[in-house]
Each structure stands twice: as C-alpha cells, then as structure tokens.
Amino acid sequence: MPHWSSLIREVPDFPKPGIVFKDITPVLADARGFAGAIDAMAAPWRDAVPDAFIGIESRGFIFAAALAQALGTGFVPVRKPGKLPAQVIAHDYALEYGRDRLEMHADALRPGARVVLVDDVLATGGTLRAALSLAQRQGATVTGAAVLVELPALRGRALWDVAAPLHVALQG
Ligand code: 5GP
C-alpha cells in the first residue's frame, strides 16, 4: 500500500446516513502524502503527456491542477451549473446521492486535443461518465482517466465504456 493511503479517513454517515465517505483532505494536508498521491496519479501519463488534464469540480480540480503543473501541461475545469462565465455545454447524469449536471466551456477544447479526465473518487461512475461525454462532444480525444481512489463495490467502472485506460491509484 502507498504511504499516503493510510491518510485517507473514512467518515460514516456523510453526506447521508449509511454512506461511508472517503475523506481525502488529510492526504492534501501532508506534503509527502500529497506529493506521493500526485506521483502515483501522474505515472501513467509521463511518457504521453496530454494536452490538458480535465478536473471535475471540486476535488478533481486539486488533483488535475497539480498533475498539470507536475507534467507541464494545461488544466481545464468541468464545473457544477452556473459557475463558468462564458458559453457552456452541459450534461445531466445520475449521482450516487441524486441527480446533477456538469458544464464545460464550449470552447475549452480544440478538436483532436488529447485529454485525461481527473477526479478524486470513482463511486457509481456517473460523474466521470458525464465529463467523458462533455470532452467527446468537443471532439477531444480522451486518452484516459486518473482517479485517486476507486470504490469497486459501486461498480462505477462499468460506465467507462471507452478503450482508453482508467487508472486508479488506490482500490478503496
Ligand atoms: P460517482 O458519480 O462516481 O457516483 O461519484 C463520484 C463523485 O462524487 C466524485 O466527484 C467524488 O468527488 C464524489 N464522491 C462520491 N463518493 C465519495 C467519497 O466517498 N469520497 C469523496 N472524497 N468523494 C466522493
């Protein structure tokens, strides 16, 4: 197990009774832990650095921005509704805790741009799938995804219906 994995804290009954939430904030607060997590997430892309890492609001921003800096490439945000100032495209999806919508600036990606999607946790997979759809609608080539923790019991990987690799640093 990587040293940073012991820093992930399980919080019972958050955000609803019965859900055990993986809290990654202690990883971020620990310099060695944060660096180790970014190293692990960056490893698959070092030899094929994408044109951008696409971070999903909000914890995905933290990891995608750090990956972009570590590998010397760009960062593009996928945001909750109403947050992005210019023209957007939107995608509605089912969430572990309800329904939601994600948006991306309509001009964020040029056709053919090679991008990697980034989030902290893969649960039911709807969030990552929504980001995949947004990137594909812009004509980008999604070369993969990078997630810190996968919760395999929730089978989110089943929604990742593309050949590009979905890399997970830790199986939760
Ligand atoms: P999904 O769409 O895969 O069900 O949910 C993934 C999204 O919800 C991610 O953006 C992730 O940040 C958040 N999420 C769901 N469960 C957890 C969890 O246990 N811990 C954290 N940190 N995020 C979670």
**For residue 117, what is the domain's CATH number?**
3.40.50.2020
Measured distance CA(124)–CA(169) in Å, rounded: 17
What is the number of structural domains in the chain?
1
69 inside domain: yes
22 inside domain: no
Active site residue 57: no
146 inside domain: yes
> Which of 10, 102, 127, 168 has most ligand 1 atoms within 8 Å of CB, for mutation?
127
102 inside domain: yes
131 inside domain: yes
pLDDT in tens, 9-49: 999 999 989 999 999 999 999 999 999 999 999 999 999 99
34 inside domain: no
- pLDDT confidence of residue 76: 98
Residues of the chain with pLDDT under 50: none
Task: Determine the distance from the C-alpha atom of residue 32 to the mean position of all C-alpha atoms in its chain, rounded to a whole number.
Answer: 21
Q: Are 117 and 128 in contact (CB under 8 A)?
A: yes
Which of 59, 101, 137, 157 is the catalytic position? 59
Structural domain boundaries, residue 90: 49-171
- pLDDT confidence of residue 99: 83
